[in-house]
Amino acid sequence: MFTPSQGPSHEQVYTAIFACGSETIRDVSSATRSLKGCELGFFGVLHTWGRDPTVYHPHVHFVVPGGGVNKTLDRWQQTAENFLFDHGTACRVYKAKFADRLRELGLCDQVDASV
């Protein structure tokens, strides 16, 4: 990855992390049968460290309720217990969105490809 003192603007990358994460939540949930037609409310919190607080590791934790407001029926629609949407699908969508955003910003060559 990059560090705040070198490489790309951390503000641009933080914005990309948040935007791609929220777009992924909206896109994947809207394609999930139990959430079709629903609008989800959620929020994210930026962390810039992992388990080891000395290692720079920017990521976002999103808090998402187990359902959404069905816009057509104008009511709350609950998802199945302990399931919002497929994790594997969300990972693939997020990685593609984030890579596209880094390319748009001209930052691909400044971020490790393993990210």
Query: pTM of the prediction?
Result: 0.84
Confidence (pLDDT) at 2: 54
Q: Mention every residue, 6+ apart, whose C-beta is less than 8 A from residue 55.
A: 49
pLDDT in tens, the chain (115 residues): 555 555 557 889 899 999 999 999 999 999 998 898 899 999 999 998 888 888 888 899 999 999 999 999 999 999 988 889 999 999 999 999 999 999 999 888 776 666 6
The one-letter amino acid at 34: S
Confidence (pLDDT) at 3: 54
Contact between 55 and 47 under an 8 Å Cβ cutoff? The reply is no
Q: Is 82 left (phi over 0), alpha (psi -120 to 50) or beta?
A: left
Nearest to 46 by CA among 14, 22, 16, 20: 14
Contacts of 75-80 spanning 24+ positions with Cβ under 8 A: 77/34, 77/35, 77/37, 77/38, 78/34, 79/32, 79/34, 79/35, 80/34
At 31-58, the pLDDT tens digits run 998 898 899 999 999 998 888 888 888 8
Confidence (pLDDT) at 14: 92
